[in-house]
Structure formats: structure tokens, C-alpha cells
Chains A and B, each alone.
Chain A
Amino acid sequence: MLTNFLSYGVDMQIPDSLLMLIPLLPFVSSLILIFVNPPKKIVTLLGVGSVGCAALIALLFNISLWGQTDYVIKAGFGNWMTIDKLVINFDFYLDALSLVMISIITGVGFFIHLYSTGFMDEDTDYRRYFAYLNMFVSAMLVLVLADNMLLLYLGWEGVGLCSYLLIGFWYKNRDNNMAANKAFLMTRIGDTGMAIGLFLLFYQLGTLNIQDMQTQAVAVWAPGSDLQGNSMATLCCLLLLAGAVGKSAQLPLQNWLPDAMAGPTPVSALIHAATMVTAGVYLIARNTQLFQLSPDAMFVVALVGTCTLLLAATAAMVQNDVKRILAYSTISQIGYMFLALGVGAGSVAVFHLMTHAFFKALLFLSAGALIYSVHHEHNIFKMGGLLKKLPVVAASFAVGCAALASLPFTSGFFSKESILEKIVDSGHTELWWAAVIGAFITAFYSGRLFFVVFLGKMQQEPNHTPTKTMHIALLVLIVPSIFAWMQPQGLIALMPGLPSKGLSDLQHWLPIFTPIAALMLAFGLYRANFFGSELKSPALQSIHQLLKSGWGFDFIYHHLFVLPFKWLCHINRNDIIDLFYRRLEDTARLMHGFVTGFQNGRLRSYSASLVLFCVLAISWVVLK
């Protein structure tokens, strides 16, 4: 019976137009929350309920499409704008990829909302918080459901705006505002690239509809076509990649994400798991066919992913702040997804995105619960021995860390394993080694985080216990973090990977034992009281310092861009260009005076003006 159910699905038809409700519900609720000030209970109901309903609809779609692989559902509000050849519809497009995305966004998003009711209970800006949060979810849904690039871009920018608002949510603290600015500006750099990419794509292909764009691109830039077409495809892909890199916090635009911790912790969970950073992965997965036309661009994607995953993993090893560890781990895991995308395994990348969404949401929410319980302490070395005091939090942390470390039989294991397998299939052995080393480091810092926080002597007594809603959210999220073993079937059909080459014994067993070995090493070092102790050698200390600052990117950017810019501003204090505009202003004034001189109110000059026109015009005729 069950197998029957699983293989054939239920014969259920739901109207396509329900699709439109998914982004609409959170959006409307957000608007209501912005313009009306209802009592707190209603705020909760609207904020959580709207996302909950959206999640239910997404679930309905999942059930009705279960077992099918080749499906497309379209629904829309009709024409948005038509300017000659450019036709933009406000249409949504649901296929296997967007179905996975909306399930994650609404599902994980719902539990984050639920959790937030507990976490933000005492905040005075409760209503504003939920208005932003709903808007955030809605923008992300528009992004993944859009059937054309312009609508996608609308969602893309909406996500950017909402992340800015939420990171700077506690706006009274200047640091938070700076973090919000940083996030906004860094992603903006990528967005600019992406916008240029879109212009170029429209110019080259004549459409912005995503599906048409793919077929058109294949037709125009087919493999084996002339070199020029090929390099144009590469250019377009790289420009899109710029946008993806910005949003997904990849090298070289990765350093906004650790600072984005300034917002409330559930917001971090939302940014890291369900929305925002997954947008870049989605963008590339959505345009798979386009990227496959350009092997060079694909290799750049893989390279960006590899470098980022190593860089972020090493940085995560030495952080003290629990949220910063998690932030770097996100950057690193997204790096894995980019790597998978780069070797042409989009379906696996999205699979990892899905499992990552579950366990990273779990980790962030339990980190939030942890911080909530221990006087808003962030430093892991001031915690310790919390296993007994906070059992639920500890359990969820354990599951989250295990999945992050990809211990066997957790969701993270299956997705990461498939990524590694696909890298072998693609023949990039050097990238495979890098990914395995990354996996080792990941397991190592996950172990370090868990052991330091929950084992050993208690440093301080927890003063709060997490609320019931927080516990519910955590417990529910534990389930998929462990059991999301299966890759959604539709994805494979949508993005068929490379043919399997088969693994050697080393390639098969090494990734399984790597995390176990790393965890054992971490435990050994923990027992030896290595973590948190002073480093003796100055060389090691400086390396530690370098890693802790995330390889010093902030420093580099500060000296490379900020200071020269400030210097330029300084030397241009009197604004050379302004001098020019001053003259313009004077000219305009002069002209005004001149032409006003004719407005003398005399009838005779007025009638003369008519005659003057005729005389001038006729003399022009005569002189010509």
C-alpha cells in the first residue's frame, strides 16, 4: 500500500492558479502588517499563518506531483509590460527545481517563523519584524517561481532589500547598521554584474523568458559554433555568476555574510537556510543549459566553489563566536554546491542545498536557543557542559553538527557523497581532493563546536529555557536533517548529470572515514584542552589571526578599495566637477535673465514676434 502510494502518488488534481497564492499570501500579510497595527495575537497569526498556508499549498503540489518527473505548471497574473518586442509577463513557472525550492522556502521558513514567535516575544518591534520576514519569504518565492529573468530580478532585489532591513533590524546599534550596509553594498556589486548580464542576454537572445532563453541560447551558441558566439556565452555566464557570487557569499564577495550575524538569530537561519544565499545556486541551476554552453564558465564556477569552501572551512576552525562558525560553515557548504554546479551536477547541488537548508536551519535555530538561554553569550569558550541543562538544544545541535560533518546516515552524508561522486565522474581529481580536505575540516570544526559548548565543565548557568514553540520547531527540523536521504526524482530528470564512471575503492571509502577521523581528532584535541588555549609559537599565532579574520579579506578590501576611495574623496574636496556645474548654473541663470527680458508685457512686441518668425523663416528659405 505504501509503496503503491509512493510510486504512483495520489490522483489529485489541484488548480494551477493556487500557485499564485504561494508568494501572494506572505506578501499580502506583510502589507497588512506594514499598514495596519493589529493586536499582537493577530500579528502572530498573520505572520506565521500566511507562511504556513503557503507551505501547505506547496505540500499539496508535492503530493499531487509525487512520482512524476516531467511536469510544468504555469500560472500568472498576465501581462506586466509590453514594449514592442519585449513582453514581460507576471507569470510563475513550477517545475521540479522550483518545487524543491518553494518546499524548502515555505517549509523551513514556516518553522523559522514559528520559532520567531518565541524568540522575538519580548521585542517591541514584533510587528515590524514579521512584516519584514514575510516580505523576505515572499520575495524569495517570487525569485524561484519567476518565469522570466526580470521577475526573477524583482525577487532578487526584494530579497536584497529585506535582508538589509532584517540585518539592521536592531537599528539603534551602529554596528548593526554597518553590517546591513556591508551586506547590501557587497551584494550590490554582484547585482550590477547580473543586471549587465541580463541586458546582454536580452540583446543577444531577444527574450528574457527563462525557458525561451535556454532554447534560444542553445540554438545561437550551439557547441561547435564560432568562437565569438562561444565567448559571448562565457561572458553572459560570468556576468550572471557575478550576481550569484554576491548573493551566495562566494569568493570574492563572501565577507558580508559573517557580519550579517548582526540581525536576530532566526533571520540568520532564514538567510542561511531557506532564502538569500541559496538564490545564487538557484540562479545557476535554473540556467544550467546556458552554463553548459560554456565549459570555461563552468570551470570558473567549480573553481570559485572549491576556493570558497576551503577558505571558509579553514576560517571556521578558529572562530570563537558560535554564529560566526555557522556563518563560515554556510559559505563553505554553498561552496560545495557551486563546485557541484561547476562539474555539471546541478541536481546534486540542489540536493545538497535541500539537506543543507534543513540542517543549517536546525543549527541556527538551536544556536539561537542556546544564545537565548545563556545571557545572550556568543563566545563558545564561555559556554560548556550544557548537555544536561539544555537537552533538546544539545540533541538538535548534535544532529545538525553530524549532518554538517556528513557522518554516515545523516542527510548531509548522502548529499555530500553524491557531490564527491559527481566530481569523480567529471574527471577533476584535483577538485575531488580539495573537496575531501574540505570535508575533513568541516567535520573537525563541527566536532570542536559541539564538544566545547556541550561537554566539560559548566561555565555559566542558563537563565532562560527556550519556549515551547522554539522546541517544536527544533524537534520537527531534526527529522529531515537526518532522514532527507532521497534526491527528488524530478531534479534528475530536469538536470541529468554525467554518466557514472564508477569509483575506485579509495574514492569510495575515504569520504566515509574522513569525517569520523576528523571528529576523533577533534575529540582528542578537546580532551587535551587544546581549544581555547594560548598558542605558543608566534608563527602559529599569526596564522590563527589570519584565519580568524577570514583570510583578511576585510583588510584587503579596506586597503584596496575603501582607502583609495576615501583618498580620492579627500583630494577632490572642492569637487572639480562641481566647478563645471557652477558654470552651468550661472549660464542657466544668465539664459533665464535673457529670455525673460522678452516678456515685457507689451502687445506690440508680442505681435512683432509673430512677424519676426515669418521673416526669419522666409529669409531662411530665401538664403538657402
Chain B
Amino acid sequence: MSLHYLPAIVLIITVLLSLTSLSLKRHHGIAYLICGGGLLLTMLSLFMQIGKTGTTSELFVFDAITPFLSLILLIVVSMIWVQLYQWLEALDERKEEYYLLLLLATLGSLIMVASNHFTSFFLGLELMSLSFVGLVAYSGREFKGQEAGVKYLILSAVASALMLMGMAILYLQYGTLSFNDLSMQGASGTLPSWVTVTGIIFILGGMFFKLSLVPCHLWVADLFEGAPLATSALLATLSKLAAFVVLWRIFSLGEWHTHAVIVDIVAAVAIASMLVGNFLGLLQNNLLRLLAYSSIAHFGYLLIILLLAASPTTAFLTSTFSTEAVVFYLVAYLFTLVGVFSVLMQMPQIKTQQDLTGLFWHKPTLAITLALLMLSLAGIPLTIGFMGKFYLVMTAVNHQMWWLLSALVIGSVIGLFYYLRVIMMMIKAPDGESDFSGLTMTTNGQLLNYLIIFLVIGFGTFPAAFSQLIETLSRG
């Protein structure tokens, strides 16, 4: 048994363990600890794999970057896990099952990140999606949560159906479902190329739904608003990262680029997402909806990278540079987003921008952290978000994708408006209406805040350490 499957096995054992303990005796603390221990062990086993030689099997691929991305996922989940105990305690529900679902979703995403075959990809996706349905509809008494759960269930089913249809068509064409065989075009292809393209479009449709890209973005705001806070955080990070990695892996095989229409469609969706996402956020008052819209725009920016493999690289940049760019951007965005959510989890009663009025004068640490994160999302220099965007823009400039770049610039400018508005609200003099007396700062939360500040500023100021790590990893 190869070391590479160890993380998944650890997670499965953790799931079984927590299920057993749950059936014997309900205890929140134990469930919390089992979950944390499992995550820690998984991280350790992933950490051991970094830098080791990879292997590829029929179903899974473990190249240099896979364990690294999985580790990032695990770190993100753990950062949410840290605050889960307090947050669940305040929730008027049974608590232990949340960890179970969380672990299952994590397992699904790990499988997706490592998948090398449509089957493994689909299994991972379904495992994750179904767990998310449970996570979204976790609070049974809240109407909005239930509504969101149903929406997610049905829409996921539609998306899965589309993807299955696409896979079937591809199977018809190639007679195989392995990603590697996608590049063997024409070997067994008997159908006209537009059929293949149609299949690809169906798969893209499903993926764009998961990534909430225009025009399949409508659900995301309702979900973020309706789902419990921790679930929204997971939805924004875990599910999107996993889906994006799969898409990126398929695209970097190079086959799909040969269809000019696909490139055009992805470019159009990227541009539309950047613009529509930011326009939606412009006057949005609800913080969670705001984050949902901003995530539409951010994944629009990321789509640029998908197109890079299509155009030839110039001499100025090395070929690993786009890998570096995509990983840096993903990590920067994920950490920033997790940061935002963990700040929001520390003040559960705050829902809208108005509620934030004068926060700085009551809880300066929280306000400064949130302000930094907003700057990072907007891509202001000296934050990690800036460096991510910098890499992205540099790669795109190098490939002379002027249309996408101009959309990115316009989108960023619009985005700046609502990010800065959040900061402005916090600095405003308190109006007496917003009540922060219920806010209690825990040591946990404080430490997390400092960690976030350190990461956002540290990697924004000294990006070299991190980018070099990615570079060595992506060279293999």
C-alpha cells in the first residue's frame, strides 16, 4: 500500500471513529477532538509526502503539487475547525454530526484534488456535494437554511446530471474516462468534433455551477446567506478549490484548448464573471452576499489562468510560472477568505455593513484584521492578495490577453468600491445603534486574528519565500 493513500485512509478511519463514538455516547468535546486529531494526522501524512516522488495510477494522480494543494485544503479546514466548537455551542442544534459531515466533505475534496479519472472525480464530487447538503441545511429550525439546503440539493443534482451527460458523450468519443486518455484524440474518435465539444460544454456547465461562474452564479448568494456561517466558509473555500483544481488539471492536459470555441466560451465566462460579480457586489449591504459576489469575481480572475496553456509562452517567463501564479492566487484567496469568515464567526450577530458601524472603536483588533482582509481581497499592495493578483496579471500580460486584462482592471476598480466601504463603515464614529456589547473576544479568536494578520502582511511583503516553495514544487 502506497503512502499516497494514507491521508484518505486516515480520514475514513476518523469518520468511522467519530460515528462509533457518536452512536455510543453523544459528547461534543469528544467529537471535536476526534475531528481535530483526524485532521492533524491527515496533515502530517500529507506533509510527509511533500517533496517525495509522485505516482500515477488509473484513478489517482499524486504529482508534486497534489499533496501541497491537499495540505492547503486541510489547513483551511483546520482554521475553520478551530472556531467550530464555540460556534456550535451557540447553535441550538445537535452538534456532533456536523463534524462527521465536515470530515466527509473534506474526504470528497481530497479525492477530487487527486483525481485522474472521471469516475474518481465524480465520486469525490458527489461525496462532497451530498455532505454539503447536510451542512447547508444543518439548522432545522431556520427557514432560510432549509430553503438553501433544498436549493443546493436540486441544483447539484442538475449540475451532476449535466456532467454525467458530458462524460457519457466523451466516453462515446474516446472509449475511456481517464484524463490522460483525453489527449489521445482521434485514436478512437468516430464522431464529429462538435459532439465532443458539446460533451465538454456539459461538463463545463456543471463545473461552472460549482465555481458559481456567470451565468450559473445565481444560487451562490442565497446559499451563503442562508447556510450556517461555518458551512458558507467551507462552501466558499473547500468546494470551490477542489472543483477548480480538477478543472485546471484537465485544462493543463492541453487537449481542450484545441477547440477554439471552448477557449472562447471560457474567456467569455471569465469576463462576464469578473464584471457581473463586481456589479452585484457594488451596493450590496449584506456581508455574506457581498462575499458571495466577490467570490464570483475572484474565480473569474482565476479562469484567466485556465486559458494560458492555450497560448504559447514567451521567452520572458518560464513555463512553470503559470502554475506558480495559479497556486499563489488560490492560496492567497483561500487564506484571505478563511480569514474573513473566521472574523465573521467571532461576531455572529453582525450581518450587514450597517452593523459594522464604528467597530474599530470597540474592537480594534477585529476591525484591523477585517480591514486588512478587505484590502487583500481588493488587491492592495503589501497584502497577500496583491501578490496573488500581481502574479496573475503578470502572467496574463505576458500572454497578451488584453481583453481579459481590461475586464480584470475594470472589475477590480468596481470591487475596490465595496471593499473599501466595509472599512469605511468600521472606522466611522459609532452611531449608538450598533451594539457590540455582546461581542466577547476569546483567546482562540485573538490568536487566530494575529495569525491572519501575520500571514496576510507577511506573505504580502516577503512573497519570495512562498513563491520559491511553489516553484520548486511545481518543477517537481
Q: Which residues of A contact B (CB under 8 A)?
A: 79-85, 588-589, 591-592, 594-596, 598-599, 601, 603, 605-607, 609-614, 616-618, 620-622, 624
Contact = CB atoms under 8 A, between A and B. Distances in A.
A603 B208 CA distance: 17
B47 to A, nearest CB: 25
B218 A598 contact: yes
B202 interface: yes
Nearest to B201: A617
A584 B216 CA distance: 27
Interface stretch (B24-32, B279-287, B450-458): B279-287
Given A84-B318, A84-B321, A606 B155 contact: yes
A621 B321 contact: no
A99 B205 CA distance: 66
B158 A620 contact: no
Contacts of A617: 201, 204-205, 261, 265
Contacts, number: 88
Contacts of B318: 84
B150 A621 contact: no
A624 B261 contact: yes
A609 B194 CA distance: 22
A599 B201 contact: no
B218 A606 contact: yes
19 contacts: A79-B464, A80-B464, A82-B467, A84-B318, A589-B283, A591-B279, A592-B279, A592-B283, A603-B150, A603-B155, A606-B219, A610-B209, A614-B162, A614-B201, A617-B205, A617-B265, A620-B264, A621-B194, A621-B198
B414 interface: yes
B180 to A, nearest CB: 25
A536 to B, nearest CB: 63
A313 to B, nearest CB: 45
A81 B194 CA distance: 47
B158 A595 contact: no
A620 B265 contact: yes
Contact of A595 (B198, B276, B462): B276
Contact of B218 (A85, A599, A614): A599
Contact of A82 (B162, B205, B283, B468): B468
A607 B150 CA distance: 12
Contacts of A618: 198, 201
B463 interface: yes
List the 3 closest pairs (A to B, CB-CB), nearest first. Answer: A592-B282, A617-B201, A591-B279
A483 B264 CA distance: 77
Contacts of B264: 620
Contact of B208 (A80, A599, A607, A613): A613
Contact of A599 (B194, B221, B321): B221
Given A592-B282, A610-B216, A622 B194 contact: yes
A612 B215 contact: yes
Interface of B: 150-151, 154-155, 158-159, 162, 194, 197-198, 201-202, 204-205, 208-209, 215-219, 221-222, 261, 264-265, 275-276, 279-280, 282-283, 316-318, 321, 394, 414, 462-464, 467-468
B316 A84 contact: yes
A621 B394 CA distance: 31
A264 B392 CA distance: 48
Contacts of B467: 82
Given A588-B414, A613-B205, A613-B215, A620 B282 contact: no
A606 B194 CA distance: 27
A621 B201 contact: yes
Given A592-B280, A595-B279, A613-B205, A607 B215 contact: no
Given A613-B208, A614-B205, 7 more contacts: A81-B463, A84-B316, A607-B154, A609-B218, A616-B215, A621-B194, A621-B198
A318 to B, nearest CB: 49
A428 B158 CA distance: 86
A403 to B, nearest CB: 46
B259 to A, nearest CB: 9
B463 A609 contact: no
A596 B280 contact: yes
A592 B219 CA distance: 17
A363 B468 CA distance: 53
A605 B261 CA distance: 26
B279 A609 contact: no
Contacts of B275: 591
Contact of B159 (A589, A603, A610): A610
Contacts of B462: 81
B464 A609 contact: no
Contacts of A607: 154-155, 158
B215 A609 contact: yes
Contacts of A599: 218, 221-222, 280
A589 B205 contact: no
Nearest to A617: B201
A598 B276 CA distance: 11
A588 B413 CA distance: 11
B151 A603 contact: yes
B216 A609 contact: yes
Contacts of B198: 618, 621
B155 A610 contact: yes
Contact of B216 (A80, A591, A601, A613): A613
Of residues A589, A614, A622, which shows the largest number of chain B Cβ atoms within 10 Å of its Cβ?
A614
Contacts of B463: 81
A84 B282 CA distance: 36
A596 B218 CA distance: 9
Nearest to A78: B464
Contacts of A598: 218
A619 to B, nearest CB: 10
A611 B215 CA distance: 10
Contacts of B464: 79-82
B89 to A, nearest CB: 31
B317 A84 contact: yes
B202 A614 contact: yes
Of residues B158, B194, B202, B275, which shows the largest number of chain A Cβ atoms within 10 Å of its Cβ?
B158
Contacts of B209: 610
A589 B162 CA distance: 35
Contacts of B317: 84
Contacts of A591: 275, 279, 282
A620 B162 contact: no
B280 A610 contact: no
Contacts of A595: 276, 279-280
A22 to B, nearest CB: 23
A609 B222 CA distance: 15
Contacts of B414: 588
A613 B205 CA distance: 7
A596 B280 CA distance: 6
A83 B155 CA distance: 43
A601 B222 contact: yes
A89 to B, nearest CB: 11
A572 to B, nearest CB: 23
A594 B275 CA distance: 12
Contacts of A616: 215
B421 to A, nearest CB: 13
A589 B216 contact: no
Nearest to B465: A79
Contacts of B201: 614, 617-618, 621
Nearest to B259: A621
Contact of A603 (B154, B194, B205, B316): B154
Contacts of B219: 606
Given A595-B279, A613-B216, A614-B201, A620 B208 contact: no
A609 B279 CA distance: 18
A4 to B, nearest CB: 49
Contacts of A80: 464
Contacts of B316: 84-85
B458 to A, nearest CB: 14
B222 A610 contact: no
Of residues A612, A618, A621, which shows the largest number of chain B Cβ atoms within 10 Å of its Cβ?
A621
A264 B209 CA distance: 66
Contacts of A609: 215-218
